[in-house]
Amino acid sequence: MVAYLQKLLGSTGLAPHGYCLLWDPVLIWTHVLADAVIGLSYFSIPVALAVFLTRRPDMRFRWIAWLFVAFILACGATHFMAIWTLWNPDYGAQALLKLATAIISVATAVALWPLLPRTLALPSPAQLEAANAALQLRIDERDTALAALAAQTEERMRAEAMLRQAQKMDAVGQLTAGIAHDFNNLLTVVIGNIDRARRLSGQDSITLPALENAMTGAQSAARLTDQLLAFARQQPLLPALSDLNAITDRILTLFNSMIDPSITVDVALAPDLWPVQIDTGQAENAVLNLLVNARDAMRHGGQLRVLTRNQPDPDGDRVVLQVTDTGQGMDEATRERIFEPFFTTKTLGRGSGLGLSQVYGFVTQSKGSVTIDSAPGEGATISVYLPRAMEGR
């Protein structure tokens, strides 16, 4: 083997390749230029491949790519060796370089053909785009389903909260109704006896004023009882076709003398408001209670806004009355109890806590609903929804 390599690498008796070209400058330098350009091009390709493979460690079949790097480098080296042998007869070294190139090329070819089916099985760019589009569609569908589920969950929780609130209000209403009925029966006896005593006293200047004061107190108690019955939805109503704008306007006229100059009132009544079927007297009380509640929430002045509007609804058209104040607002705990009888945030002696209870009872008994939108420091808006009267369609 040593003798073989010595003979192979020996150059004794050999002439350089330029001798075969008769040292023709045109031929020699054409060969040099062509081999140099080819060699440099060959070298640039594996360098680019090496940079790509280094920066993309996730590339599949990396080993075959490195075989291509070695193969192309060997091919480039043969061209530079061809330039060398133009002046140096080292044909043995050239042969060894070609042999190494042959081995690398055979190894690359042998490895490439079995790998071909696996590379062809890789998804094409179009297939990847289609897969990405399908995946994005599934993600969008999932997001839509999650959003719908979240909305359904929120709606269910809201419905459950409303049901619990309604059940609580019904329980409080039943208790209130029982107390109010018993108290009303007692008041009937008291008022009847006071009235009888007034008639028997004649013009007795001593007892008559006391009896008049007693009657006034008893009648005030009777009005409170009526408010309790209204909350419990057991107050007899006399519904009639009514114009909510006219009712609101009448109460606003009376209310103007009850407010501080620091409170401005903004009124926006819909000119084409639908009629409603309600008890006018109870409606007037409800509007007044809403206005008084808004006024009392603005101890240091503010703006009170009253508006009416029509609200079309596939489940039944409704007429809306909204009263908004810019007062201190209320937190969630207060909002949950605001319609309970005797619940009040006012100081002792400034209210009975029955005003909004009357509103709730009247609206509910009139087959309507009432909502409140408020937050601490942001005022409050109480909205009353009453069904549009059938006669007005």
Q: At 391, is the secondary structure helix, strand, or coil?
A: helix
Continuous segment of H or E residues that includes residue 357: helix 355-365
Instruction: Give Cα 39 distance to the centre of its chain.
Output: 63
Q: Give which of 238, 200, 374, 186 is closest to 297, Cα–Cα.
A: 374
Question: What are the tokens at 365?
Answer: 């008994």
Q: At 159, is the secondary structure helix, strand, or coil?
A: helix
263-268 and 302-311 strand pairing: parallel
Continuous segment of H or E residues that includes residue 328: none
| Amino acid identity at 372 | I
Helix intervals (H) in 16-124: 17-20, 25-55, 62-84, 91-120
Burial (Cβ within 10 Å: 0-12, 13-18, ≥19) of residue 278? buried
What is the predicted pLDDT for the residue at 325? Answer: 93
Q: Which fold has domain 237-393?
A: Heat Shock Protein 90 (3.30.565)
Provide the whole-model pTM: 0.48
Q: How far apart are CA 242 and CA 239, in angstroms?
A: 8
Residues 6+ apart with CB under 8 A from 111: 63, 64, 67
| Amino acid identity at 321 | L
What is the predicted pLDDT for the residue at 392? Answer: 46
pLDDT in tens, the chain (393 residues): 655 555 556 566 678 888 788 888 888 899 899 989 988 988 888 888 888 878 887 777 777 778 888 888 888 888 888 889 889 888 888 888 888 888 888 888 787 777 777 766 667 678 778 888 888 989 988 988 898 888 888 888 877 766 666 665 565 555 555 565 556 666 676 777 777 777 777 666 677 777 677 777 666 666 666 655 555 555 566 788 999 999 999 989 888 888 888 999 999 999 999 999 998 888 888 898 899 889 988 888 899 999 999 999 988 999 999 999 998 888 888 888 777 776 666 554 455 566 788 888 888 888 899 999 988 888 999 999 999 997 644
Helix intervals (H) in 121-242: 125-201, 208-231
What is the predicted pLDDT for the residue at 239? Answer: 86
What is the predicted pLDDT for the residue at 174? Answer: 57
Helix intervals (H) in 202-257: 208-231, 244-255
Q: How far apart are CA 321 and CA 269, in angstroms?
A: 9
Residues 6+ apart with CB under 8 A from 235: 226, 229, 282, 361, 362, 365
369-374 and 239-242 strand pairing: unpaired
Q: How far apart are CA 275 and CA 247, in angstroms?
A: 11
Q: Looking at residue 133, what DSSP letter applies?
A: H
